[in-house]
């Protein structure tokens, strides 16, 4: 027995040592692999998250086609970090702050305006103390607004009233864009020979301080007169740039995408593909040739049909795009290309690329004036975004910062928010086809019923508050029960902002060669989304109202 014990004991110990050494080796090898990956990995898009997360956020891809909610639409200005708003050098304005107001008070003191208080019995709107009182009032009341500059106050309708106009931006909008408001204020005497505001009227009430508009003008036939269209927003410059001389065209370098199955797909699909092309152009240091004419998917149209010939500028900020990226409109580009080839014997060098599998890295050193990607394969091989897949994702970063919502749509957003005095809460109520689909969303219909909404919202939003409802529910009176608890606002309450008497109507008609433009489903979603973002309290359907998953059963 003792001999047997002596022979088996070392064997057991050796086996334990062997297993221990093997496990340690596997651990060391795993750490080595992880370290290599951590050092070499480059996330393809640094704006928000990794590429897969962005893809899921914007597109929800499945089998190379896109399925998305369409109830919330994000663009570049929604993705900029709150701590670092984008600022255009041309648009930079110092905001009106408490420090600025203190300096104004010092100037007024030096002017000896406080020496005699008798002159305050009659309100003089040009008195600096009037504007100072308005600035103090606005800073105290409108906490969500950044005030940029004021115009000199003018007389109101009564002796103690003044109308004041200013430019501003909302703190929740992270772009540099500026908006206008003009209001009527009533004053009384304050302490130490100052004015104080005793009443402020609502949004755009100070009509004497608004921008001048064209008056009635005689017609060519004489005798009768008609009202000229409203003055356009002078801060919008979305004219189509020209390449200039033929030599300027020849010296340029261009990336031209043609064809493709992206046409008439949803806007999220369009954005994903468009920004892939723009990102490649930036990587190659080339001007991107873009078509301003786009096809609006049937999902956004009451007719349930695709609509061609929509202008990019109806939906997106072309002025901002021109400032941050080198782009040329396709018709201008083709006209200059044809003109060059007709005049000169030596044709423009063109590199034709027939498959997305030719990567931007392979084209980096190409000297051709035009790189022409032709997407002629059947779907899904002809989607533009295929260029940015795979290894290319490490090199091409989609420039989300370049794609902002149209300033004309944002003017409507600002008008709606301003009419609620920037003091409102909002609920996002997803219904439509999802509420009808009991298989994927068994509780959504009942959880978004008027009675259920009242029960849920009472615990989150105080009674009598302004409540904006962003929704795809088609029946306007569906939310009437909520009116007993809240001041309910729906998008259709503001139809005059895109009616045939509105500034939006006149400006979009000019872009559309004099033809009226429909305020379509995408525009409605874009405006609903942005008003929702500006609410003080925001209630979401799939987070607050129902336990159903956003994309159906078992997708949470």
CA 244 to chain centre: 31
Distances (CA, A) of 171 to 57, 220, 339: 24, 47, 48
Class of domain 407-545 as given by CATH: alpha beta
**CA dist 11 → 17, 128, 381, 538 (Å):** 10, 98, 62, 69
pLDDT by position in tens, the chain (length 556): 444 444 445 666 666 677 777 776 767 667 666 555 544 433 333 333 334 444 444 444 333 334 445 556 678 777 654 334 444 444 456 788 888 888 877 777 767 655 567 667 789 999 999 999 999 999 999 999 999 999 999 999 999 999 999 999 999 887 888 999 999 999 998 787 889 999 999 999 999 999 775 443 333 334 433 433 444 567 788 888 877 767 788 889 999 999 999 999 999 999 999 999 999 999 999 999 999 999 999 989 888 899 999 999 999 999 999 999 999 999 999 999 999 988 888 889 999 999 999 999 999 999 999 999 999 999 999 999 999 999 999 999 999 999 999 999 999 999 999 999 999 999 999 999 999 999 999 999 999 999 999 999 998 999 999 999 999 999 999 999 999 999 999 999 999 999 999 999 999 999 999 999 999 999 999 999 999 999 999 999 998 999 999 989 888 8
Decide whether 246-402 matches 407-545 in CATH topology: yes
* Of 426, 481, 416, 487, the residue nearest 450 (C-alpha): 481
The answer as to CATH 3.30.160 being correct for domain 246-402 is no
Query: 469 — alpha (psi -120 to 50), left (phi > 0) or beta?
Result: beta
pTM: 0.82
Per-position DSSP letters for 243-274, written without gaps between them: --SHHHHHH--EEEEEE-TTTT--HHHHHHHH
What are the domain boundaries of the chain?
1-41, 98-215, 246-402, 407-545
């Amino acid at each position: 027995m003792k001999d047997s014990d002596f022979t088996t004991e070392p064997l057991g110990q050796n086996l334990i040592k062997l297993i221990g050494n093997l496990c340690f080796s596997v651990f060391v090898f795993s750490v080595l692999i992880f370290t290599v990956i951590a050092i070499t990995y480059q996330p393809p898009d640094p704006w928000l998250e990794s590429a897969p997360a962005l893809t899921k956020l914007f597109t929800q891809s499945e089998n190379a086609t896109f399925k998305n909610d369409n109830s919330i639409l994000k663009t570049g200005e929604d993705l900029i970090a709150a701590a670092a708003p984008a600022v255009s050098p041309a648009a930079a304005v110092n905001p009106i702050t408490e420090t600025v107001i203190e300096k104004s008070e010092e100037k007024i003191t030096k002017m000896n305006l406080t020496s005699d208080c008798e002159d305050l019995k009659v309100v003089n709107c040009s008195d600096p103390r009037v504007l100072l009182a308005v600035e103090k009032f606005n800073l105290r009341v409108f906490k969500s607004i950044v005030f940029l500059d004021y115009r000199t106050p003018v007389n109101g309708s009564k002796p103690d009233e003044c109308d004041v106009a200013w430019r501003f931006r909302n703190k929740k909008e992270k772009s540099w864009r500026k908006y206008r408001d003009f209001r009527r204020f009533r004053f009384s005497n304050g302490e130490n020979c100052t004015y104080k505001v005793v009443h402020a009227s609502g949004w755009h009430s100070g009509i004497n301080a608004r921008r001048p508009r064209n008056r009635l003008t005689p017609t060519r036939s004489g005798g009768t007169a008609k009202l000229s269209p409203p003055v356009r927003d002078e801060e919008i410059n979305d004219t189509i740039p020209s390449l200039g001389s033929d030599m300027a065209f020849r010296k340029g370098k261009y990336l031209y995408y043609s064809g493709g199955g992206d046409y008439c797909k949803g806007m999220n699909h369009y954005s994903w593909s468009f920004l892939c092309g723009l990102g490649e152009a930036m990587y190659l240091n080339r001007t991107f040739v873009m078509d301003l004419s786009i096809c609006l998917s049937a999902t956004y149209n009451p007719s349930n049909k695709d609509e061609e010939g929509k202008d990019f500028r109806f939906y997106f900020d072309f002025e901002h795009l021109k400032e941050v990226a080198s782009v040329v409109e396709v018709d201008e580009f083709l006209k200059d290309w044809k003109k060059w080839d007709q005049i000169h014997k030596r044709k423009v060098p063109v590199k034709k690329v027939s498959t997305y599998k030719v990567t931007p890295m392979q084209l980096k050193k190409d000297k051709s004036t035009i790189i022409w990607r032709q997407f002629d394969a059947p779907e899904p091989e002809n989607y533009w975004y295929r260029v940015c897949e795979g290894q290319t994702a490490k090199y091409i970063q989609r420039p989300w910062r370049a794609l902002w919502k149209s300033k004309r749509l944002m003017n409507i957003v600002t008008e709606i928010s301003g009419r609620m005095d920037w003091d409102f809460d909002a609920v996002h109520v997803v219904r439509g086809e999802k509420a009808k689909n009991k298989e994927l969303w068994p509780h959504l219909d009942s959880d978004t019923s008027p009675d259920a909404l009242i029960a849920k919202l009472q615990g989150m939003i105080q009674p009598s508050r302004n409540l904006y409802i962003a929704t795809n529910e088609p029946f306007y009176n569906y939310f009437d029960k909520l009116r007993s608890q809240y001041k309910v606002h729906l998008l259709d309450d503001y139809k005059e902002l895109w009616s045939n008497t509105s500034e939006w109507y006149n400006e979009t008609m000019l872009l559309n060669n004099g033809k009226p433009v429909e305020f379509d489903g995408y525009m409605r979603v874009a405006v609903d989304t942005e008003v929702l973002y500006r609410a003080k309290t925001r209630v979401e359907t799939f987070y607050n109202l129902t336990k159903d998953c956003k994309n159906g059963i078992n997708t949470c």
